[in-house]
Amino acid sequence: MKNLNEINKPQRPVKVLQFGEGGFLRGFVDWMLQKLNDAKLWNGSVVVAQPIEQGLCDMLDAQNGIYTHIIRGAEGVETSLIDVIDSCVKPYEDFDAYLKLAENPELRFIVSNTTEAGITFEDSDKFTDTPPKSFPAKLTVFLKKRFDLGLNGFILLPCELIDRNGDNLKKTVLQYADLWNLGDEFKGWIEKENVFCNTLVDRINTGYPKDEKIDLDYEDKLINTSEFFHLWVIETDYDLEAELPFSKAGLNVIVTKDALERYRTRKVRILNGAHTSMVCYALLEGIETVKDCMDDENMHNFLKTCLFEEIIPTLDLPKDELLEYADNVLTRFANPYIKHYLSSIVLNSVSKFKVRVLPSVLEYKNRFGKYPQNLIFGFSKLIEFYKTSTPNDGADVMEFMKNATLKDILAKVEYWDADLSDMEEVIKNANPFFR
């Protein structure tokens, strides 16, 4: 059996600094950059900075940065070698090697996925730390080195799952510039010579297939797996496609000047809303996974009605686009390779319902003069679940939901940001449990 480090990897200029080496970035951004290289639309490679002390960089280096990515779903199986990663640096072991990357004039893009908690401001970080603790602090030191060298700035594409991630990253970098007294000239360079994009990412990456045997004619300890669906919405005034022509490579990347929030709303209402509208109902029916829901005729029909008849009519994106996205969601839910347990989705269902489903319920009432029957039924099942089963939420939330009357639950403005008392009779009519 041959080793991946024996493969003759193409030598390409390093154009991307990537904070993070986990399955998501390798199965999303790096996979896309590989597609650009393979289509001869771009010529570049990635250097990975390991953002924490422990990570996968040693394993990546042992395989010369090469790994296998396998896309699996109802559509079939697609296997490819990803060789876009040039090398890795570990700032906690060699901070000078990390800073030396700033000397590369061809370095153009900075990508990150340091978890939702990654874009934070730690006032205990110092400019002289090697390295500072937080990701934005490490980035600020790197940007200051770049500024001091008189080189061009970067296009920054954070992939952390927080709202306005680019704006928040820029704000935090400027906070460090103030904390460390790095000067107005440096802050002006940050503002004028760097493009901080807000992004929305959407792909299920299932990582290394631990409980499976994957037949390859080489050893790969970093096999990565994902679904077929992928979406990257990037909000920027910059002509990003001129440098990274994703659309020409057939990738589902949308570069927009002002529409990110609409796509975020689409994802939250359709994908996340579908999960939350059905999860308590399905658990009460003894169903365990999302795939099981798709295989159950009653639950499948319930979900389709929620999506196509009650959620989509409340959204203002082009109808064809909404229908295509909803169809993709159903295909993703039916993926035979993904075990998505409802017991994990049900966590904090009260707060999730407020954000993911309630806006659709209220907008439906506003547009059509009545409440949507299936979403209301799903809401009633959520309340029934909290009263009779095993929710996973804050102790105070679970106690209140279990013991309060339906009337008091609906009037709990603290939970719903609205008084929902007028739903009482609708819920009683929808679910015999409350009669």
Question: Could you give the 3-state DSSP secondary structure of residue 413?
Answer: helix
CA distance 223 to 209: 7
- Phi, psi angle pair for 238, to nearest 5°: -75, 145
Half-sphere exposure of 46 (CA within 13 A, CB side): 30
Domain boundary assignment for the chain: 2-257, 261-434
Task: Provide the pairing of β-strand 155-158 with 67-73.
Answer: unpaired
Amino acid at 350: V
Low-confidence ranges of the chain (pLDDT < 70): 1, 116
Asked if domains 2-257 and 261-434 share a fold, the reply is: no
**What CATH number has the domain spanning 2-257?**
3.40.50.720
> What pLDDT, on the 0 to 100 scale, is given for residue 213?
83
Fold of 261-434: N-(1-d-carboxylethyl)-l-norvaline Dehydrogenase; domain 2 (1.10.1040)
- What is the predicted pLDDT for the residue at 205? 85
Given a contact cutoff of 8 angstroms between Cβ atoms, the answer to whether 73 and 42 are in contact is no
Give the integer Cα–Cα distance in Å for 383 and 361.
16
Taking CA atoms, 407 is separated from 12, 109, 319, 395, in Å, by: 65, 54, 36, 20
What is the model's pLDDT at position 43?
A: 98
Measured CA distances, 167 to 158, 163, 170, 183, 284 (Å): 10, 9, 5, 20, 41
Residue with tokens 């990738």: 251
3-state helix, strand, coil split of the chain in percent (to 5) is: 50, 15, 35
Q: What is the pLDDT of residue 116?
A: 63
Q: What per-residue confidence (pLDDT) applies to 254?
A: 95
